[in-house]
Amino acid sequence: MKNRWLIENGTFITMDPQQPVVEGWLAVENDRIAGLGTGQAPDEERKLGAELVDGRGKLYLPGLINTHGHAAMSLLRGLADDLRLQDWLENHMWPMEAKFTGDDVYWGTSIAAAEMILSGTTTFLDMYDHMDRVAEVVEQSGLRAVLTRGVIGLCPPDVQTAKLNDAIGFAKSWHGQAGGRIRVMMSPHAPYTCPPDYIERIVAAARELGLPLHTHMSETAAEVAQNVKDYGVRPVEHLDRLGLFSGPSLVAHAVHLTDEEIALLAERGVAVSHNPVSNLKLASGVARVPELLKAGVTVSLGTDSAASNNNLDLFEEIRLAALLHKGVTGDPTAVPAPEALRMGTVYGAKSLGLEGETGVLQPGLKADLISVRTNKPHFVPATDYVSHLVYAASGADVADVWVDGKQLLRERQLLTLDAERIRFEAQRAFDRLRA
Ligand SMILES: N[C@@H](CCSC[C@H]1O[C@@H](n2cnc3c(=O)[nH]cnc32)[C@H](O)[C@@H]1O)C(=O)O
Ligand SMILES: [Zn+2]
């Protein structure tokens, strides 16, 4: 039987420049948007026997896209706050993560998945290990994901090889799985945790598998200085020389960039995942987002993990992306609201190689959408809903979520995940790790 449903009397923020706001209807057939139009749905649509959804009092928009994170680290939320990146990583995160079992990753990722669905994210990128357990959560939750086994190369050669083989094996087993909802990338964790020859091997493997590359880059000033000391060049030139940018790639953070580096990223078509909350919390700095956008770089948004955020609400990243760059540049026109919303949707899709699949409400694209309830004081007056979504809304306003035409959240009830069980198991996993 075909999966058919039809939203009537809705307000659709499409992110499609041809028709940005549609007051009307949206039809879904199986996993895709089959039609979208103003006013009443045509009789042919209604005759198809679709399940009807009353869209009154709700705004519909493409599901949000989180382009950088480490879901399982939700288990470490609030464990080590108010520290600098290197101290936080080396003395707090890595010792705890060394104890993570596959089950810990499963429950940590499950709690993250529940949080993401409840705050309107439909696609997320996850860089971690025990990735088969992350993929399991993606299968069960119904989310769309780009998964990547991040590798840290500060280890003996045989361990490096084992990690790379794990990443290759994961890619071979999971790329295109979960009904096509899982895509895979290859990830050297960062230029400061992977020796150059190891990065080259990871790049070669990515090329052979035809997969994009992802990495952390130029997150802190200290990282850039260390890179210059160790390799004689800044991280962008370093990674460029190692071939990382000679195919599709997405870098997280990119906080400390020169004009020349911005030009090079634009020229190579490197996408950037901007993580404003994480960068503020770890005092890493503020990325030069207005300049990146002006240069034509695709800039999307990521939460990073709940251990440096400390939530996974992408509405916060959208709002902060719109506010932060005004504050630091003294220019109130920097990153206007519609651009911030594009960063959280359509540019997210582009960053992940999912352009033309998701990130926009348009017939033919995947039915990945969310609704936001507007019968609340902070959505009055009913004027510019893009402004309200960016400057006034939060993830708690999300009512419904669909991915691939399948409903994951209905009136804030999770349909695919057992929230109570997950909370219990995630807490138990944390208690055991801390013991
Ligand atoms: N455990 C794997 C690497 C996992 S990749 C994910 C890693 O990214 C780390 N991480 C999380 N947030 C950040 C960040 O903001 N910058 C750099 N690394 C981070 C996280 O602690 C985790 O170790 C190995 O040994 O090869
Ligand atoms: Zn990260």
Q: What is the pLDDT along the chain (435 residues), one digit of tens a residue?
A: 789 999 999 999 999 999 999 999 999 999 999 999 999 998 888 788 889 999 999 999 999 999 999 999 999 999 999 999 999 999 999 999 999 999 999 999 999 999 999 999 999 999 999 999 999 999 999 999 999 999 999 999 999 999 999 999 999 999 999 999 999 999 999 999 999 999 999 999 999 999 999 999 999 999 999 999 999 999 999 999 999 999 999 999 999 999 999 999 999 999 999 999 999 999 999 999 999 999 999 999 999 999 999 999 999 999 999 999 999 999 999 999 999 999 999 999 999 999 999 999 999 999 999 999 999 999 999 999 999 999 999 999 999 999 999 999 999 999 999 999 999 999 999 999 998
Nearest CA to ligand 1 atom 9: 89
Confirm or deny that 45 is annotated as ligand binding: no
The dotted CATH code for 4-62+361-414 is: 2.30.40.10
Say how many Å lie between the CA of residue 67 and the centre of ligand 1: 15
Which ranges in the chain are annotated with CATH 3.20.20.140?
64-352
- Residue 385 beta carbon below 6 angstroms from any ligand 1 atom: no
Residue listed under structure tokens 């220019």: 331
Residue 310 preceded by cis peptide, ω within 30? yes
What is the rounded CA–CA span in Å between residue 116 and residue 121?
5
What CATH fold (topology level) applies to the domain 64-352?
Answer: TIM Barrel (3.20.20)
Q: Indicate where the chain has its CATH 2.30.40.10 domain(s).
A: 4-62+361-414
Listed residue (265, 255, 250) closest to 221, CA to CA: 255
Annotated binding-site residue? 304: yes
Q: What is the DSSP letter of 188?
A: E
Provide the strand spans (E) within 155-295. Answer: 182-188, 213-217, 249-253, 271-274
Residue with CA at minimum distance from ligand 1 atom 6: 128
Q: Is 70 annotated as a binding residue?
A: yes
Give alpha helix (H) positions in 300-418: 314-329, 337-344, 346-351, 385-391
As a whole number of angstroms, the distance between CA 266 and CA 250 comes to 12
Q: How far is the CA of 68 from the centre of ligand 2 (A)?
A: 6
397 close to ligand 1 (CB < 6 Angstrom): no
* 101 vs 107: CA distance, rounded Å: 10
Q: How far apart are CA 280 and CA 69, in angstroms?
A: 16
Overall residue count recorded for the chain in this entry = 435
Q: What residue type is assigned to position 118 of the chain? A: L
Against a cut of 0.95, is the pTM above it? yes
Q: Which of 70, 168, 317 to mutate to test the pocket of ligand 1 (most atoms within 8 A of CB)?
A: 70
Cα 154 to middle of ligand 1, angstroms: 12
CB burial readout 316-341, b (16+ within 10 A) else e: bbbbbbbbbbeeebeeeebbebbbbb
Q: Decide if 32 contacts 88 (C-beta within 8 A).
A: no
